[in-house]
Amino acid sequence: ETGVTQTPRHLVMGMTNKKSLKCEQHLGHNAMYWYKQSAKKPLELMFVYSLEERVENNSVPSRFSPECPNSSHLFLHLHTLQPEDSALYLCASSQESKGVSTDTQYFGPGTRLTVL
Protein backbone atom coordinates (compact mmCIF):
# COMPACT_ATOMS: atom_id res chain seq x y z
CA GLU A 1 0.00 0.00 0.00
CA THR A 2 1.18 3.48 -0.76
CA GLY A 3 0.05 6.97 0.19
CA VAL A 4 -3.01 7.38 2.36
CA THR A 5 -5.66 4.67 2.49
CA GLN A 6 -9.16 4.83 3.95
CA THR A 7 -11.69 2.14 4.79
CA PRO A 8 -14.48 1.64 4.17
CA ARG A 9 -14.92 3.56 0.93
CA HIS A 10 -18.70 3.63 1.34
CA LEU A 11 -20.79 3.37 4.50
CA VAL A 12 -24.53 3.48 5.08
CA MET A 13 -25.69 3.65 8.67
CA GLY A 14 -28.76 4.34 10.70
CA MET A 15 -28.94 7.11 13.25
CA THR A 16 -28.62 4.70 16.16
CA ASN A 17 -25.61 2.80 14.83
CA LYS A 18 -22.02 3.07 15.97
CA LYS A 19 -19.34 2.79 13.31
CA SER A 20 -15.72 3.77 12.79
CA LEU A 21 -13.79 5.12 9.84
CA LYS A 22 -10.18 4.10 9.46
CA CYS A 23 -7.26 5.91 7.88
CA GLU A 24 -3.70 4.70 7.43
CA GLN A 25 -0.77 6.63 6.01
CA HIS A 26 2.30 4.95 4.53
CA LEU A 27 4.31 8.15 4.04
CA GLY A 28 6.16 8.33 7.36
CA HIS A 29 4.37 11.56 8.29
CA ASN A 30 3.81 12.87 11.81
CA ALA A 31 0.48 14.65 11.40
CA MET A 32 -2.95 13.37 10.38
CA TYR A 33 -6.23 15.14 9.71
CA TRP A 34 -9.95 14.52 9.27
CA TYR A 35 -11.90 16.71 6.85
CA LYS A 36 -15.60 16.76 6.04
CA GLN A 37 -16.79 17.58 2.54
CA SER A 38 -20.51 18.25 2.20
CA ALA A 39 -22.30 19.14 -0.98
CA LYS A 40 -21.96 22.83 -1.80
CA LYS A 41 -19.79 23.62 1.24
CA PRO A 42 -16.05 24.18 1.46
CA LEU A 43 -13.89 21.43 2.86
CA GLU A 44 -14.05 21.66 6.64
CA LEU A 45 -11.20 20.65 8.93
CA MET A 46 -12.55 18.54 11.80
CA PHE A 47 -9.54 17.27 13.72
CA VAL A 48 -5.77 17.45 13.62
CA TYR A 49 -3.23 15.23 15.33
CA SER A 50 0.14 16.87 14.93
CA LEU A 51 3.34 16.23 16.86
CA GLU A 52 1.34 14.21 19.39
CA GLU A 53 -1.09 17.07 20.04
CA ARG A 54 -4.74 17.01 19.14
CA VAL A 55 -6.44 20.11 17.83
CA GLU A 56 -10.09 20.23 16.96
CA ASN A 57 -12.54 22.50 15.31
CA ASN A 58 -14.84 23.55 18.14
CA SER A 59 -17.85 23.42 15.88
CA VAL A 60 -17.60 19.64 15.43
CA PRO A 61 -20.37 17.84 17.35
CA SER A 62 -19.42 15.36 20.06
CA ARG A 63 -21.02 12.51 18.09
CA PHE A 64 -17.71 12.50 16.16
CA SER A 65 -14.80 11.18 18.19
CA PRO A 66 -11.26 10.84 16.76
CA GLU A 67 -8.58 8.43 17.88
CA CYS A 68 -4.94 8.39 16.85
CA PRO A 69 -3.15 5.38 18.41
CA ASN A 70 0.09 6.09 16.52
CA SER A 71 1.42 8.36 13.80
CA SER A 72 0.30 6.01 11.02
CA HIS A 73 -3.29 5.32 12.02
CA LEU A 74 -6.29 7.54 12.55
CA PHE A 75 -9.87 6.63 13.37
CA LEU A 76 -13.11 8.55 13.40
CA HIS A 77 -15.71 6.98 15.68
CA LEU A 78 -19.29 7.77 14.83
CA HIS A 79 -22.34 7.43 17.06
CA THR A 80 -25.94 8.63 16.90
CA LEU A 81 -25.32 10.57 13.72
CA GLN A 82 -27.87 12.74 11.96
CA PRO A 83 -28.83 12.73 8.25
CA GLU A 84 -27.02 16.06 7.81
CA ASP A 85 -23.77 14.26 8.69
CA SER A 86 -23.93 12.49 5.34
CA ALA A 87 -20.81 13.60 3.49
CA LEU A 88 -17.44 12.56 2.14
CA TYR A 89 -14.94 12.19 4.98
CA LEU A 90 -11.36 12.70 3.91
CA CYS A 91 -8.23 11.83 5.79
CA ALA A 92 -4.89 13.54 5.13
CA SER A 93 -1.35 13.42 6.43
CA SER A 94 1.70 15.68 6.36
CA GLN A 95 5.14 16.11 7.89
CA GLU A 96 5.15 19.01 10.34
CA SER A 97 7.82 20.91 12.27
CA LYS A 98 7.19 22.33 15.72
CA GLY A 99 5.46 25.72 15.55
CA VAL A 100 5.66 26.00 11.80
CA SER A 101 3.17 24.41 9.42
CA THR A 102 4.76 24.18 6.04
CA ASP A 103 4.28 20.90 4.41
CA THR A 104 1.86 19.55 1.90
CA GLN A 105 -1.12 17.52 3.02
CA TYR A 106 -1.71 14.31 1.10
CA PHE A 107 -5.24 12.99 1.02
CA GLY A 108 -6.84 9.58 1.00
CA PRO A 109 -9.72 8.58 -1.30
CA GLY A 110 -12.36 9.33 1.32
CA THR A 111 -15.28 7.48 2.86
CA ARG A 112 -18.69 8.32 1.44
CA LEU A 113 -21.02 8.25 4.44
CA THR A 114 -24.80 8.13 4.20
CA VAL A 115 -26.87 8.44 7.35
CA LEU A 116 -30.45 7.23 7.04
Partner 1 sequence: AQKVTQAQTEISVVEKEDVTLDCVYETRDTTYYLFWYKQPPSGELVFLIRRNSFDEQNEISGRYSWNFQKSTSSFNFTITASQVVDSAVYFCALRITLGSQGNLIFGKGTKLSVKP
| Residues near partner 1 (CB under 8 A) | 31, 33, 40-43, 45, 48, 50, 55, 88, 90, 92, 94, 96, 99-102, 104-110, 112
| Those residues with Cβ within 8 angstroms of residue 26's Cβ, 6 or more apart along the chain or in another chain | 1, 2, 3, 4, 5, 72
Cα 92 from Cα 107, distance rounded (Å) = 4
- Centre a 10 Å sphere on the Cβ of residue 88 and count the other Cβ atoms it contains: 15
Closer residue to partner 1, CB minimum distance, 54 or 73: 54
Minimum CB separation of residue 92 from partner 1 in Å reads 8
Minimum CB separation of residue 7 from partner 1 in Å reads 14
Closer residue to partner 1, CB minimum distance, 81 or 90: 90
- Name beta bridge partners: 59: none
Closer residue to partner 1, CB minimum distance, 49 or 64: 49
